[in-house]
Structure 1
Amino acid sequence: MARATRSSDWGFPRWRAYGAEREAVKVRLCDRHGCEAPGDRPAPKSPNSPERWYFCETHAGEYNRNWNYFEGLTAEEAAQRESDERRDAGDFSESKHNSWAGPGDGTRSRDEIRALELLDLEVDSDFEAVRMAWRRLAKSNHPDVKPGDADAAKRFQAIQAAYDVLKTAEERRTWKPD
């Protein structure tokens, strides 16, 4: 004996449109007080906590702008956590050689960014701009140009160290295996 009603959900492809369920769909609202938008963007309530807030897109952006990952930690604890996470995140650097991304989009390390700031350059500067800035600053702060000036000697050493960091990073980026 055949059933009186037949479901149209059998097999693949589904024979009715997605989202056309007969049951009411439970929608979670944004956890921000007074907001009636759907809360479909989870955000952690505190570092290393499984509990989550659920915000709409606008309030998730506001929450992320004000998020401090190291809140409540001393400077030593924050430095320790950062070093632990850098050590644990080393596997992500395995795909660095693929060069999928260009400069200025997260491919530069923190040391490279500091070196670029020291040379008064933008994050997306190419190596030719780095070389020109290094030459300009090195000439103006060289100990032979300013003899006896201890501050100029320190600036020259910092400029040289920044150039070395950027040069090794550029060599690493442009190196191609045989």
Structure 2
Amino acid sequence: MAKPRRSNDWGFPRWRGYEESREAATVRLCDRHGCDERGDCPAPKSPNNPDRWYFCQKHAAEYNSKWDYFEGLEKAEAAERARTEQRDNAGYAEASHYSWGGSGDGSRSADEMRALDVLGLESDADFATIKRAWREKAKTVHPDVKPGDKEAAAEFQKLQVSYEVLKAAEARREWHG
């Protein structure tokens, strides 16, 4: 008589892994010709069509990078659609103080993200790094270093405004605790 095999789930069915059985699991491959990766990212074949391509992550990113939301619209129509969507999504901006909206983890506003881009920093930079980057960049374009250079003066202004935005945000974070 064969000895019964003990289960790996210790009697708790929820501990069983997905697709742990011995049967072959059906895996859909990427629809890109020649790609053997798993195709688990659906993408529409055409607008208002229920048919989908299924790409791997790499090819889905490539497909989406060429996507133009305003393709085929006149300039006025595109501007109207952008304005309408901005109006319809204004509720998210209003709720940003609850950390419901915004980019990344919700800890930085869009203005802060733009200021970090001007300074060439990542979104998770701490204030000491921000101050160091601002000083390094400001030293190269300061009006005392480059007197009479209008481009350097404009760049210095951008750096100043970016630093002020990030400094005010840091002060708010410290004040709110």
Answer yes or no: same fold by TM over 0.5. Answer: yes
Q: Distance in 2 between matches of 1:87 and 1:58?
A: 34
Amino acid at match of 2:167: K
Instruction: Verify the 8 A CA contact 1:41 1:57 in the aligned structure 2.
Output: yes
Gaps of at least 5 residues in structure 1 are 1-28
Instruction: Verify the 8 A CA contact 1:41 1:55 in the aligned structure 2.
Output: yes
Quote the residue 2:60 is aligned against.
61
Structure 1 residues 126 and 33: alpha-carbon distance in aligned structure 2, compared to 1, 3 A threshold: closer
Gaps of at least 5 residues in structure 2 are 1-27
Quote the residue 1:112 is aligned against.
112
Instruction: Verify the 8 A CA contact 2:142 2:152 in the aligned structure 1.
Output: yes
Q: Deviations over 1:10-32 (max 9, x none)?
A: xxxxxxxxxxxxxxxxxxx99x6
Instruction: Verify the 8 A CA contact 1:40 1:54 in the aligned structure 2.
Output: no
| CA drift at 1:132 | 2.0
Higher relative contact order (CA 8 A, sep 6+): 1
Quote the residue 1:165 is aligned against.
165
Instruction: Verify the 8 A CA contact 1:39 1:55 in the aligned structure 2.
Output: no
Aligned pairs for 1:14-25 (under 5 A) are none
Q: Deviations over 1:65-109 (max 9, x none)?
A: 442222223556544433432232121234433447998446545
RMSD (Å) for aligned C-alpha atoms:
4.2
Structure 1 residues 125 and 56: alpha-carbon distance in aligned structure 2, compared to 1, 3 A threshold: same
SS in 2 for 1:146: coil
Q: Deviations over 1:113-142 (max 9, x none)?
A: 332222121232223222222222223322
Q: Deviations over 1:34-90 (max 9, x none)?
A: 9xx9999474833xx5x4333435389354344222222355654443343223212
Structure 1 residues 100 and 125: alpha-carbon distance in aligned structure 2, compared to 1, 3 A threshold: farther
| CA drift at 1:160 | 1.3
Amino acid at match of 2:52: Y
Structure 1 residues 160 and 70: alpha-carbon distance in aligned structure 2, compared to 1, 3 A threshold: same
Deviates most, 72-81 or 94-103: 94-103
Instruction: Verify the 8 A CA contact 2:93 2:101 in the aligned structure 1.
Output: no
1:45 matched to 2:46: yes
Q: Distance in 1 between matches of 2:41 and 2:134?
A: 48
Amino acid at match of 1:145: V
Amino acid at match of 1:45: S
Instruction: Verify the 8 A CA contact 1:141 1:152 in the aligned structure 2.
Output: yes
Instruction: Verify the 8 A CA contact 1:142 1:156 in the aligned structure 2.
Output: yes
